[in-house]
């Protein structure tokens, strides 16, 4: 599975337009691919478009990390892993099975 997330230079999870780094956790290759976030300080929809182009199958988010436009772009293309208790890339990697267990196909709030 290819799982997208956005974080800052200290690896703290951020909303789609507030993190400098767009990453893909590639479980099959057992790597974390890191990219410059094209939507940083521009727009969540720009980041979401990049996530889709990178072939992600899911995105890790917290409440408030998406907006209607980015959600509409991704709905039907991604699963959403809505988390609350993990704050960094390290937390995510160490608890990936728990994070994956939270995957849903639709969100009621962003």
Residue 47 domain-assigned? yes
Instruction: Give the pLDDT confidence score for residue 22 in this predicted structure.
Output: 98
Q: Give CA–CA dist 73/86, Å, rounded.
A: 25
Range of the domain at 85: 2-104
Domains in the chain, number: 1
Instruction: Name the pLDDT band for 108 (thresholds 50, 70, 90).
Output: confident
Residue 78 domain-assigned? yes
DSSP state of 47: H
CATH number, domain with residue 69 = 3.30.420.130
Instruction: Give the pLDDT confidence score for residue 92 in this predicted structure.
Output: 97
Instruction: Give the pLDDT confidence score for residue 68 in this predicted structure.
Output: 94
Q: Give CA–CA dist 8/53, Å, rounded.
A: 21
Q: Across residues 52-58, what is the average pLDDT?
A: 98
Instruction: Name the pLDDT band for 106 (thresholds 50, 70, 90).
Output: very high
Residue 110 domain-assigned? no
Given strand 31-36, what is the order of strands in its sheet? 31-36, 21-26, 2-7, 58-61, 79-82, 103-104
> In degrees rounded to 5, what are phi and psi of residue 27?
-65, -35
> In degrees rounded to 5, what are phi and psi of residue 12?
-85, 130
Q: Across residues 76-95, what is the average pLDDT?
A: 96
């Amino acid at each position: 599975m290819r799982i997208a997330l956005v974080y800052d230079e200290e690896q703290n999870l951020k909303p789609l337009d507030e993190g400098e780094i767009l990453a893909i956790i590639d479980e099959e290759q057992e790597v974390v691919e890191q990219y410059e976030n094209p939507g940083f300080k521009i727009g969540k929809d720009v980041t979401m478009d990049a996530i889709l182009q990178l072939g992600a199958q899911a995105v890790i988010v917290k409440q408030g990390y998406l907006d209607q436009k980015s959600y509409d772009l991704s709905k039907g293309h991604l699963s959403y892993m809505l988390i609350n208790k993990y704050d960094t890339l390290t937390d995510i990697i160490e608890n990936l099975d728990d994070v994956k267990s939270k995957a849903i196909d639709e969100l009621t709030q962003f």
